[in-house]
Structure 1
């Protein structure tokens, strides 16, 4: 059932991704002359899902570990450094500057390969990432275990809430206590750390969801492709879904288009 649900969700995300990237174009490179900037808008945020040694296909949901490494190497060689959600929150609320070439890397859904394949590459290139985990899947086949989640947290990565069982939050019947409170409590028990950051399943945010998150003192939330809310920028942080079909140069071009300086 989990695999079937993942496939159905994947089809929806594929459609969102295709519409989102239909209007992209190549732009020229810009020179960076300072190390830090006082800008108060979000840095580029990348979104990954399934990482495999040999994926059945390569698209925005299925990426080979070799292509992931090429993309991470490109980011490092281009001078990018990773920032975590807490850095973004402090930037928005306190004006603390981010590095000029800041990037946030996120991995959704708590797949087992995030520990076995992704974590070693992040360590190799000196990056930290955010792992958004639906807690109903923890310990299931193909998903992270509690021990693996704890190791990721202890290694300096951020563990974020991604609901209990990955529903669309657009339904008026959403059980917010289960999807937010219970799942958050599970992650905090596993990691021994407070959880302040959230990713909307399928990237779909609503005003109601934002209100529920704020009432529970979450600090920020991540969507996918929608236009950020001018009133709630921290709760509609935009992410670029990454395709394994992109070359490193294509990824760089899309970063500059979607997250212009």
Structure 2
């Protein structure tokens, strides 16, 4: 009887695991994971680990504009277990090390754009606020506590102090590289050395953040060791990442997830560039009560119109704006309350037939402020949602469902 009961229990558990795995696979299971380190307001100080705060803002605006849902490690655990569904366009945003700029620059931008991120800290380098210097480069525990309790930041581990600065860090002698085992080291010795570091890190994170669990670990230098994965599992750390660039697939598990390194010359707008099918359409528009039609491309149920057509339509109103193409920067530049100079080809009909189109990779500049806006460059013209142009240039856009007309107040 007991044997039969055990078989039934095992069958139920196996079915649960399979169902959870299938749920992740049914949702696709694939998540691009983005890797950041430090941010700066000095464009001359960027490198392979540091981008400008402005570039980070554009990255987050891109994700927001194109409907991405940022997931935390806790969300991945829930999705893989079947407790929640994978969103249509998932992404995970990660920061390594715990730089002060994560609080000064990244945190406000995440709040403004509705994004979330996990920050894996080198616990040894984090500072109590009472001892923090003005020129510090690392976060304080007070800053970490605030972010961890905001609902949009999860704190993970990047070790307590195993970046091996005493050996020169990455590329150290005798193969000492992050959490990799030493030459000739036994597993028991490894567990004592690296396990103590992990315990210290997890204890400090729990103590200073109030997080009951630490779900996430990022491998220093992306250097993986199977013994470390065993330690992570023993300590309840269920998600870990490396640094090899590829799309993560959580249907294969939550450890050793690949990540894309985001740099100035490899922004999110290029990495996740949208490729969509566009069908020609006509957008019915009313400008201050006067009806007109704008040639448009319907992309995913939204009409995108040529920016110069809109500028022509609003010429002479209080919301007119000028349009300039900056060929060197590869972007559109708009000036509100400025007269538009027609080119003569505005409002030209679009060619018949749908086509594959790609999103723009550079921001739009409106009144000298650059923002990442959902837009597509099609046949040499840039197409935007009318509401986006209204937000950029200050005119009101409403939808009248009874007449199926976009109403513009300019």
2:201 alignment partner in structure 1: 183
Q: Distance in 2 between matches of 1:231 and 1:76?
A: 25
Q: Distance in 2 between matches of 1:230 and 1:80?
A: 17
Q: Distance in 2 between matches of 1:230 and 1:249?
A: 23
Paired residues of 2:57 and 2:109 also in contact (CA < 8 A): yes
Q: CA deviation at 1:237?
A: 1.1
Q: CA deviation at 1:222?
A: 1.3
Structure 2: gaps of 5 or more residues: 1-23, 164-177, 275-410
Which of 157, 160, 163 in structure 2 is aligned with 1:164? 160
Paired residues of 1:56 and 1:62 also in contact (CA < 8 A): no
TM-score (norm 2): 0.50
2:301 alignment partner in structure 1: none
Q: Secondary structure at the match of 1:182?
A: helix
Q: Distance in 2 between matches of 1:74 and 1:147?
A: 30
The answer to whether the aligner puts 1:195 opposite 2:191 as a matched pair is no
Based on CA coordinates, which of the two structures has the bigger radius of gyration? 2
- Change in Cα spacing, 1:58 to 1:103, as seen in structure 2 (3 Å) is same
- Change in Cα spacing, 1:42 to 1:60, as seen in structure 2 (3 Å) is farther
**For 1:1-261, what aligned pairs fall within 5 Å after superposition?**
38-39=26-27, 41-94=29-82, 96-139=84-127, 141-156=136-151, 157-167=153-163, 168-172=178-182, 174=190, 175-193=193-211, 194-225=213-244, 233-253=253-273
1:16 alignment partner in structure 2: none
- Change in Cα spacing, 1:251 to 1:231, as seen in structure 2 (3 Å) is closer
Structure 1: gaps of 5 or more residues: 1-35, 255-261
Q: Secondary structure at the match of 1:151?
A: helix
Q: Secondary structure at the match of 2:263?
A: coil
Q: CA deviation at 1:171?
A: 2.4
Higher strand proportion: 2
Q: Distance in 1 between matches of 2:113 and 2:126?
A: 27
Q: CA deviation at 1:229?
A: 10
Q: CA deviation at 1:44?
A: 0.9
Paired residues of 2:31 and 2:249 also in contact (CA < 8 A): no
- Change in Cα spacing, 1:248 to 1:231, as seen in structure 2 (3 Å) is closer
Q: Secondary structure at the match of 1:205?
A: coil
Higher helix proportion: 1
Q: Distance in 2 between matches of 1:37 and 1:78?
A: 23
Structure showing greater relative contact order (alpha-carbon pairs closer than 8 Å, 6 or more residues apart): 1
Q: Distance in 2 between matches of 1:177 and 1:187?
A: 15
Paired residues of 2:31 and 2:250 also in contact (CA < 8 A): no
Q: Distance in 2 between matches of 1:211 and 1:164?
A: 17
TM-score (norm 1): 0.77
Q: CA deviation at 1:52?
A: 0.3
**CA-based RMSD:** 2.6
In terms of mean alpha carbon deviation, does 221-230 or 124-133 score higher?
221-230
